[in-house]
Amino acid sequence: MSTIQIKDRHFREYLSQDEIQARVDAIVQELSGKFSDKHPVFIVVLRGAFMFASDILKKFNHPCEIEFVRLTSYAGMQSTGKINITQPLKEEIVRGRDIIILEDIVDSGLTMDFFTKYIQSLEPASVTLVSFLFKPENLQKEVKIDITGFVIPELFVVGYGLDYDGEGRNLPAVYQLAL
């Protein structure tokens, strides 16, 4: 089992590249079944979802548009609970459209509770939330995730887009904090 160090912490591999790619393929199949003739708008939540979104979108071979937002709430290993939109969305693209949100992880749920309400306020035709990871033990807000990549336990994870204090996003697998 491979172990890595990022800054002061040790992490061990938790989800391999092969496991992740197999799950990505299944998610793309599900999305293709629902949206192949719908011309959806994917909204990629930066920065954590960039790698997941890239893998999904390379395989989604149907007409679609792609937008990016940047939401921030975390400092180090803690959510601050206060959500900021630091890269805003082109709001006019949302109205009447089928929106597919691609997020890296739902933890407390505060970020996606805030963001899905914001998207709903822009009057889309539908909203589908796809989260690569879901940590249900820490949930503080009822967030409806339509498609979850993997449900994981409470431990902090890094890699495949997710960072620990700015590092580790480029790792192609997911690593879990080794206690």
* Helical axes 17-35 vs 50-59, angle rounded to 10°: 60
- Candidate ranges 14-22, 36-44, 100-108, 119-127; the one touching ligand IMP (CB under 6 A): 100-108
Reply yes or no on whether 107 is catalytic.
yes
Residue 43 tokens read as 């909204």
Q: Is 156 in the site for ligand IMP (CB under 6 A)?
A: yes
Nearer to ligand IMP, 35 or 132 (CB): 132
> What does the DSSP 8-state code read for residue 93?
G
- How far apart are CB 6 and ligand IMP at their closest, in Å? 11
Exactly one of 107, 113, 146, 165 is catalytic; name it: 107
The terminus-to-terminus CA distance of the chain in angstroms comes to 15
Are 102 and 44 contacting, i.e. CB atoms less than 8 angstroms apart? yes
- How far apart are CB 111 and ligand IMP at their closest, in Å? 3
Q: Is 110 in the site for ligand IMP (CB under 6 A)?
A: yes
Which residue from 34, 36, 50, 74 is in contact with ligand IMP, where contact means CB under 6 A?
74
DSSP per-residue codes, 86-111: EE---GGGTTTSEEEEEEEEESSSHH
Which residue from 11, 31, 41, 48 is in contact with Mg ion, where contact means CB under 5 A?
48
Which residue from 109, 124, 149, 159 is in contact with ligand IMP, where contact means CB under 6 A?
109
- How far apart are CB 61 and Mg ion at their closest, in Å? 26
- How far apart are CB 39 and ligand IMP at their closest, in Å? 26
Q: State residue 119 phi and psi, 5-degree precision.
A: -65, -45
Nearer to ligand IMP, 7 or 37 (CB): 7
DSSP per-residue codes, 108-172: SSHHHHHHHHHHHHT--SEEEEEEEEE-GGG--S----SEEEEE--SS-EEBTTB-BTTB-TT-S
Note the residues at the interface with Mg ion (CB under 5 A): 48, 104
